[in-house]
Amino acid sequence: MNTKNNTEDLEQEIADLESRLHNAKAQLASSHLAPRSAKPSSLSREPNGIPPSIPIHHALLLLSDSALPLGSFAYSSGLESYLAHNKPLPRSVTSIASFRRFLKLSIASLGSTSLPYVLNAYRYPETLETLDNDLDASTPCVVAQRASLAQGRALLGLWERAFRGSYGLYASSGSSMANGAGTAVNAVKALEDFLDALKSCFDHVDELGPKGHFSPLWGVVCFIMGMDLHQTAYVFMLNHAKAVLSAAVRASVMGPYQAQAILASKGLQEMIMQRIEREWDTNVEDAGQVVPPLDLWVGRHELLYSRIFNS
């Protein structure tokens, strides 16, 4: 990968994003202090004079929607197995505390294993097939593979049936905003090629052919839809947190309001931001599991006597 060439650009981009984040936070803080003093339009104005792209991104709302038909609700990412392996809880530990521990571990693990693939697919969409292969090679068990493939293929289906009409044309007409038009066209091409390769793979069984893992596809689709890299990463992590929390509600760990409280908490936001920052420059070669027991819990999901989730 031509990382060296892009390092300066990336550093520039990071600095830019950080300043934007800083500004946004400052604006948020001031709007909390004086909710009605400023006109709504001031929210979309950048203090340092850079014209904003779009204050709220349309694609962002689509992709962060929990109704996005990816089937994420069917997976607990190891939570169900974790609960079974830690039963009964010691008296000093509440079920909420135990869940918070799991959420923290799960987010850290997602950050170290999957997030580098999202980031790299976004930056280098043309490497999609390699990233897909490498992620498949790095997936340690069939349970995790199943979950990743089901959601990845759902996303491909969504692209094919829903997004392609708007974003495929849109990108190739050369009016992409955040990304250079040429690279957006290339990204669409990479995605379409991947789709074709995946389809032709169903005819003749090639065990090492394209698979359709979720993380790299997420990166490429978000790129095509004009999301910026930070948003792409943040929504990826947040959607995961949402899915785990939703699983927790259905597994009777907590009620829906408690789940929303965790989702809304500063702690969760900081945790996600911290993981993104940490893995921002991680090459996929250096991705790896930071929570070894999670592989055990996910792998041993198959041993559960009764299951309500697929992972």
CA distance 254 to 257: 8
What is the nearest approach in angstroms of other proteins to the Cβ of residue 199? 20
Inter-CA distances, 89 with 82, 84, 223, 260, 282, Å: 11, 10, 43, 24, 36
Residue (74 or 105) nearer to other proteins, CB: 105
Residue 123 or residue 275: which is nearer to other proteins going by CB? 275
CB atoms within 10 A of CB 44: 13
The least distance separating other proteins from the CB of residue 146, rounded to whole angstroms, comes to 11
H or E segment and range at residue 279? helix 266-279
Nearer to other proteins, 63 or 287 (CB): 287
DSSP 90: P
**What's the closest the beta carbon of residue 303 comes to other proteins, in angstroms?**
5
CB 253 to other proteins: min, Å: 15
**How many Å apart are CA 7 and CA 1, to the nearest integer?**
11
Residue closer to other proteins (CB basis): 81 or 183:
81
Query: Smaller CB distance to other proteins: residue 46 or 277?
Result: 277
Report the nearest approach of other proteins to the CB of residue 16 (Å): 23
The number of angstroms, rounded, from the C-alpha of 106 to the middle of its chain's C-alpha atoms is 13
- Shortest Å, Cβ 170 to other proteins: 34
User: Which own/partner contact pairs does 184-192 have at CB distance under 8 Å and 24+ positions apart?
Assistant: 184/223, 184/224, 184/226, 186/125, 186/126, 187/125, 187/126, 187/220, 187/223, 187/224, 188/224, 190/125, 190/126, 190/128, 190/129, 190/220, 191/125, 191/128, 191/159, 191/217, 191/220, 191/221, 191/224, 192/168
CB of 290 to other proteins, least distance (A): 5
The nearest distance, CB 174 to other proteins, in angstroms, is: 34
Cα 176 to Cα 189: distance, rounded to the nearest angstrom: 15
- Classify the phi-psi angles of 195: left when phi > 0, otherwise alpha if psi is within -120 to 50, otherwise beta: alpha
Nearer to other proteins, 19 or 282 (CB): 282
Amino acid at 280: W
Nearer to other proteins, 139 or 151 (CB): 139
Q: Which is nearer to other proteins, 202 or 305 (CB)?
A: 305
- CA–CA distance, 311 with 22 (Å, rounded to integer): 37
Which residue ranges make up the site for other proteins (CB under 8 A)?
81, 84-85, 87, 101, 105, 108, 112, 133-134, 136-143, 145, 207-208, 278, 286-293, 295-296, 298-300, 302-306
Q: How many of the other CB atoms lie within 10 Å of CB of 95?
A: 16
